[in-house]
Amino acid sequence: MNKLRKHLELNVQLILEKRPQSSGLMNLFSPLLAIVLTVVVGGLIFAAMGKPPLTALYLYFIDPLTSWWSVEEVLVKAGPLVLIGVGLAVCFKANVWNIGAEGQLTVGALMGAIIPILWGEWQSPLALLAMLCLGALGGALFALIPAWLKTHFGVNEILTSLMLVYIAQLLLDWFVRGPWKDPNGYNFPKSVSFEGWHLLPMWGDGRMHFGLIVSLVAALVLFWIMRHTLKGFEINVVGSAPRAGTFAGFSQTKMVWFCFALSGGLAGLAGLIEVAGPIGQLQPQISPNYGFTAIIVAFLGRLNPLGVIFAGILLAISYIGGEGIQIELGISSKITQMFQGMLLFFILMCDTLILYQLKWISTKPNQPTSGHAS
């Protein structure tokens, strides 16, 4: 028996081999397959926890869409995810890895808040417009730090953009506890409440806001750019075949700057929209990790701006639904993170298996091993 196992270990290897051609249809269905797998495994986990799996799945995925109130909440939640997600989608498409959208969101919110906090008496539609511009500018400038480090020193942008998140959060923390603390707020770490034109127009139950339109427009515009302009073509070429891009005269360096400025700007805008919309003031915590969740959204949406809209809505449902089953069935809030993790895991797995196939190969002990992917 032992001998047999040894024999097997020596002579059989499991490798990932690139498929000669990948199925275009499967490529399209990969996210759907990932969703189905997540739902099935999720159901099994609910059953293993002793909860009725069908009820739980219904409450998780369907119930949030059954009343107008929760649909509004799904949209409010999807807004920032989509806005950040479309920027990241373009970024990732070009093989530029901005992981720090959460930090850019934070700095955008800080920059935009300059107007209500320092020029509180300036009340006009222009004030709101200036806030939106400052928000986008703040996010973009903050994102240019990793871009600069990357292009000038060759520092890995994944690390720098991620670490800058913590710097941004501590900066926000310092501002709301220090200079921008509400003087009438009993020393609690909050800025003054924004008022009038420093808040986004709202409608519906009172939580739907102008930012949702911004998200939708951003997604549509980026879709058009990616599909119909030279810039879109450039992003696709540089991302999928960097050498070909260089021969075509596209600059890798400029692409890094462009991607960080774009995704950072959109993340900053999302941050400003959060503080001028649902929150209405600065406080130490302004985002439940939208900047990180948007990474899942970008991939789930196939790095396609239209796909990102649907992915954002799906992730938003997972938040709202996760809260629902917590109240109705007493299931821990960790389930939301688990579902989101499973979703990303399955989509990456499906993608891998579409491009590659698993193959057992036998290797003769006395021959050099062949078949390693080079």
Partner 1 sequence: MKKLLTTAASIALVSALSISAVAADKLKVGFIYIGPPGDFGWTYQHDQGRQAIDARLGDHAETVFVENVPEGPDAERTITRLARQGAGLIFTTSFGYMDPTLNVAAKFPDVKFEHATGYKRTDNVSTYGARFYEGRYVIGQIAAKMSKSGVAGYIGSFPIPEVVRGINAFLLGAQTVNPDFKLKVVWANSWFDPGREADAAKVLISQGADIITQHTDSTAAVQVAEAQGVYAFGQASDMAAFAPNALLTSIIDNWADYYVDRTQAVLDGSWVSTDTFGGMDTNMVQMGPFVNMPADVKAMAETTTAAITAGELHPFAGPVYKQDGSLAAAEGEVVDLGTLLGMDWYVKGVDDQL
Give the residues lining the site for partner 1 (CB under 8 A): 52, 54-55, 57-59, 62-63, 69-70, 73, 76-77, 170, 173, 177, 186-189, 193, 205-207, 274, 277-281, 283-288, 319-320, 323-324, 326-330, 332-334
Q: What is the largest CA-CA distance in the chain?
A: 83
Supply the minimum distance, in Å, between the C-beta of residue 327 and partner 1: 5
Supply the minimum distance, in Å, between the C-beta of residue 235 and partner 1: 32
- Quote the CA–CA distance of 4 and 9 in Å, as a whole number: 9
Residue 278's alpha-carbon distances to 170, 223, 309, 356, in angstroms, are 22, 27, 20, 44
Supply the minimum distance, in Å, between the C-beta of residue 331 and partner 1: 10
Question: What single-letter DSSP state applies at residue 64?
Answer: G
Which CB sits closer to partner 1, 285 or 362?
A: 285
Which CB sits closer to partner 1, 92 or 319?
A: 319
Supply the minimum distance, in Å, between the C-beta of residue 68 and partner 1: 11
Which CB sits closer to partner 1, 104 or 281?
A: 281
Which CB sits closer to partner 1, 274 or 351?
A: 274
Buried b (16+ CB within 10 A) or exposed e, 248-284: eebeeeebbbbbbbbbbbbbbbbbbbbbbbbbbbbbe
Supply the minimum distance, in Å, between the C-beta of residue 112 and partner 1: 16
- Quote the CA–CA distance of 173 and 177 in Å, as a whole number: 6
Supply the minimum distance, in Å, between the C-beta of residue 181 and partner 1: 9
Both tokens of residue 19? 């498929």
Which CB sits closer to partner 1, 83 or 137?
A: 83
Q: Among positive and negative, which fits the CA dihedral 74, 78, 79, 80?
A: positive
- Quote the CA–CA distance of 265 and 309 in Å, as a whole number: 18
Which CB sits closer to partner 1, 89 or 269?
A: 269
